[in-house]
């Protein structure tokens, strides 16, 4: 195959082209959000039930979740009640086992905090032992703190737990105990317990460092939040509400997320925005738009309060503290300056409720555009169907398909009319090898982890996104992140457990495209639409780098001859190559089976390159 490259760019590659889509789908609590305890505040649980004690276990004691008579806060009505049996002599108490474990590193300071009170005054004088323990009960770190039975009002304890050794596994736990003899017969209530590791950029209430770093390494330009399904709520009442996710953790009630578990909302709007700032990306923020996943569309005459809530949400991000109460809250939380914001997505996948979207879109966007004329509003129904007014300037397009579909649809946008409308390929991933049952189970072809084949298919599709980046302004794989086993969806770009993050073939492809994105597109000989070899050529003007991305989805190598138009071509190029067994994956058992290999290659005004079977290649060299 011969590829002739033009020296004249057809269009700039938008700086927003590559980014990340995020929602809490076994990815926020217990994942990216730094809190290491699960069910830390007994939010939305039913007191007295075993389920209320999820992630907690008694240590030689009786524990139960109770509805507090004097709750630690209005938002957190429940507490864990420790009853020390009479005659106790050993250490008694309780422990939290995290998200199938707690990853503990050596020589690290963990911040523990909790509230306690004695519901009935007693003469107890003793000490709580707060500790990190491994699976065998070996103490990894511990601190003692004095406690008195006269403490009948809530008192917060904050302390640092410093480790010295690395435990042998992630099966560690956070424990609070009292010496049995001194506490026999005592009843003590605990609330809002928390354990944080050091966080990304040391942000208070911030992100877990290893996952955060893996995400930051992709150099994403945007972060779509807070969903996805998890924006919507199964009911109107359980939708995501920005104002319930900001301020002191004691004031955040949490909500029934859309993926079957309670969201603490400790990862709230301010944490999201600080995270975007720390990584250098801009939020693509969604506002709830009147449809709940259980099927409710609000009638048009009931939209106003929700439109106002969206106005306030946007003002929290970009408003003037002197003019908007919501913006004043942002300032009070330490960020008087507005955050950058260009795009607001109106709802999520409203093709599920297209009929009502016609008026929901109209009423939300008419009001929001009046308030924020500088913003772009992204529609989430099918493109131009139904016809919406005002006519959307951007649409969010989602596709989950097979690796073959992606390889055969890299020209998906080539045929789109250039009428000013821009597209956000907001969710895409090859998730199954079964074209007749894309969303089925693993036994029906669903992928647990991305494979080399799925990543190569996505890469082929992404060469098309680059070629069409005159109308595709942003693209993100979804879902971004998921626990290896406690998850609601596979595959995910990154998988993690309590102590590790696992980078997939697709993660490396997303990173290769994002880190080597260039800023203008150089037209070249078009690949065959239904061929097996796909490429895109971009230039980084500042560095004079030419970057050629190639995906070969065939099980045989493909010879390419590149004919370049440049006067000067620096013969020493760099190759970053990701290749291997088509149906294999990086897995927790074999996390580094795949990784890009960097080597030098010889290029020239005309040069040959053989793309290995099932491979993604990035060739970089200087030319002018
Ligand atoms: N069904 C997908 C579409 C929705 O927007 C996401 O929440 C889901 C997982 O990425």
Q: Which ligand 1 atom lies nearest to the CA of residue 429?
A: 10
Residue 441 CA, ligand 1 centroid: distance in Å: 16
* DSSP bridge partners of 66: 79
Supply the pTM of this predicted model.
Answer: 0.98
Q: How is residue 217 annotated by DSSP?
A: T
Q: How far apart are the first and last CA of the chain?
A: 24
Of residues 406, 420, 362, the one with CA closest to residue 387: 362
Residue 465 CA, ligand 1 centroid: distance in Å: 20
Closest C-alpha to ligand 1, atom 4: 228
Q: Which ligand 1 atom lies nearest to the CA of residue 258?
A: 7
Residue range 73-123, pLDDT digits in tens = 999 999 999 999 998 888 999 999 999 999 999 999 999 999 999 999 999
Q: Which ligand 1 atom lies nearest to the CA of residue 478?
A: 10
Residue range 253-310, pLDDT digits in tens = 999 999 999 999 999 999 999 999 999 999 999 999 999 999 999 999 999 999 999 9
Closest C-alpha to ligand 1, atom 9: 479
Burial classification of residue 315, based on how many CB atoms lie within 10 Å of its CB (0-12 exposed, 13-18 middle, 19 or more buried): buried
Ligand 1 contacts CB of residue 479 (under 6 A): yes
Residue range 477-536, pLDDT digits in tens = 999 999 999 999 999 999 999 999 999 999 999 999 999 999 999 999 999 999 999 999
DSSP annotation string for 137-171: --EEEEEEEEEETT--S-EEEEEEEE--S--SSS-
Q: Which two tokens stand for residue 483?
A: 């626990």
Residue range 543-582, pLDDT digits in tens = 999 999 999 999 999 999 999 999 999 999 999 999 999 9
Q: What is the pLDDT of residue 88?
A: 87
Q: ipTM strictly over 0.90? A: yes
Closest C-alpha to ligand 1, atom 5: 228
Rounded to the nearest integer, the mean pLDDT of the chain is 98
Ligand 1 contacts CB of residue 257 (under 6 A): no
pLDDT band at 15 (very low <50, low <70, confident <90, very high): very high
Q: Report how far residue 452's alpha carbon sits from residue 579's, in angstroms, rounded to the nearest whole number.
A: 7
Q: Report how far residue 263's alpha carbon sits from residue 256's, in angstroms, rounded to the nearest whole number.
A: 6
Q: Which two tokens stand for residue 86?
A: 């009479």
Ligand 1 contacts CB of residue 347 (under 6 A): no
CA angle 228, 234, 237 (to 5 degrees): 110
Ligand 1 contacts CB of residue 228 (under 6 A): yes
Q: What is the pLDDT of residue 89?
A: 86
Residue 492 CA, ligand 1 centroid: distance in Å: 12
Pocket probe for ligand 1: among 224, 398, 424, 487, the residue whose CB has the most ligand atoms within 8 Å is 398
Residue 148 CA, ligand 1 centroid: distance in Å: 50
Residue 18 near residue 281 (C-beta atoms within 8 A): no
Q: Which two tokens stand for residue 603?
A: 């290029």
CA dihedral (297, 301, 302, 305) in degrees, to 10, reads 130
Q: Report how far residue 550's alpha carbon sits from residue 547's, in angstroms, rounded to the nearest whole number.
A: 10
Q: Which ligand 1 atom lies nearest to the CA of residue 398?
A: 3
Instruction: Please count the CA atoms within 13 angstroms of the CA of 293 that sit on its side-chain side.
Output: 18
Residue 230 CA, ligand 1 centroid: distance in Å: 8
Ligand 1 contacts CB of residue 23 (under 6 A): yes
Residue 368 near residue 307 (C-beta atoms within 8 A): yes
């Amino acid at each position: 195959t011969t590829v002739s490259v033009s020296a004249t760019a057809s269009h700039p590659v938008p700086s927003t082209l590559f980014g990340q889509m995020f929602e809490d789908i076994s990815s926020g609590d217990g994942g990216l959000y730094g809190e290491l305890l699960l069910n830390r505040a007994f939010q939305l649980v039913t007191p007295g039930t075993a389920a209320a004690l999820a992630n907690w276990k008694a240590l030689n004691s009786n524990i139960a979740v109770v509805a507090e008579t004097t709750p630690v806060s209005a938002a957190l009505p429940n507490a864990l009640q420790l009853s020390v049996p009479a005659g106790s002599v050993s250490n008694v108490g309780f422990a939290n086992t995290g998200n199938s474990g707690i990853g503990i590193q050596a020589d690290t300071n963990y911040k523990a905090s909790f509230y306690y009170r004695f519901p009935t005054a007693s003469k107890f004088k003793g000490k709580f032992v707060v500790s990190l323990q491994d699976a065998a009960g070996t103490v990894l770190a511990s601190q003692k703190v004095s406690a008195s039975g006269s403490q009948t009002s809530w008192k917060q304890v904050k302390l640092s737990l410093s480790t010295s050794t690395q435990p042998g596994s992630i099966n560690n736990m956070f424990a609070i105990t009292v010496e049995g003899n001194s506490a026999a017969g005592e009843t003590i209530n605990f609330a809002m317990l928390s354990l944080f590791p050091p966080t990304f950029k040391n942000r208070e209430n911030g992100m877990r460092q290893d996952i955060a770093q893996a995400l930051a390494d992709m150099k994403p330009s945007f972060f779509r939040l807070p969903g996805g399904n998890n924006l919507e709520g199964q009911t109107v009442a359980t939708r995501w509400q920005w104002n319930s996710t900001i301020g002191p953790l004691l004031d955040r009630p949490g909500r029934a997320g859309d993926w079957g578990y309670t969201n603490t909302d400790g990862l709230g709007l301010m944490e999201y925005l600080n995270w975007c700032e720390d990584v250098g990306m801009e939020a693509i923020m969604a506002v709830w738009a009147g449809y709940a996943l259980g099927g409710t569309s609000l009638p048009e005459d009931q939209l106003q309060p929700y439109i106002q809530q969206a106005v306030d949400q946007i003002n929290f991000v970009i408003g003037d503290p002197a003019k908007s109460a919501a913006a004043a809250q942002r300032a009070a939380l330490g960020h008087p300056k507005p955050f950058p914001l260009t795009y607001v997505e109106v709802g999520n996948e409203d093709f599920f409720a297209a009929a009502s979207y016609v008026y929901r879109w109209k009423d939300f966007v008419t009001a929001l555009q009046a308030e924020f004329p500088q913003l772009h509003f992204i529609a989430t129904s099918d493109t131009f169907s139904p016809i919406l007014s005002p006519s959307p300037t951007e649409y969010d397009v989602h596709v989950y398909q097979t690796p073959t579909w992606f390889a055969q649809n890299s020209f998906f946008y080539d045929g789109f009319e250039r009428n000013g409308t821009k597209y956000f390929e907001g969710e895409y991933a090859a998730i199954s090898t079964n074209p007749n049952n894309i969303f089925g189970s693993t036994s029906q072809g669903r992928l647990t982890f991305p494979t080399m084949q799925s990543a190569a298919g996505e890469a082929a599709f992404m060469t098309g996104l680059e070629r069409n980046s005159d109308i595709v302004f942003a693209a993100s794989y979804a879902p971004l992140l998921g626990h290896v086993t406690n998850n609601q969806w596979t595959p995910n770009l990154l998988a993690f457990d309590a102590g590790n993050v696992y980078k997939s073939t697709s993660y490396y492809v997303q990173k290769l495209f994002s880190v080597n994105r260039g800023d203008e597109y150089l037209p070249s000989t078009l690949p065959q639409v239904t061929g097996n070899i796909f490429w895109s050529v971009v230039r980084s003007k500042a560095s004079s780098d030419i970057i050629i991305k190639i995906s070969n989805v065939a099980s045989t190598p493909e010879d390419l001859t590149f004919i370049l138009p440049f006067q000067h071509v620096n013969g020493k190029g760099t190759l970053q190559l990701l290749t291997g067994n088509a149906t294999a994956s990086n897995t927790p058992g074999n996390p580094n089976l795949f990784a890009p290999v960097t080597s030098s290659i010889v290029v020239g005004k005309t040069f040959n390159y053989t793309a290995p079977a099932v491979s993604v290649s990035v060739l970089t060299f200087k030319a002018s």
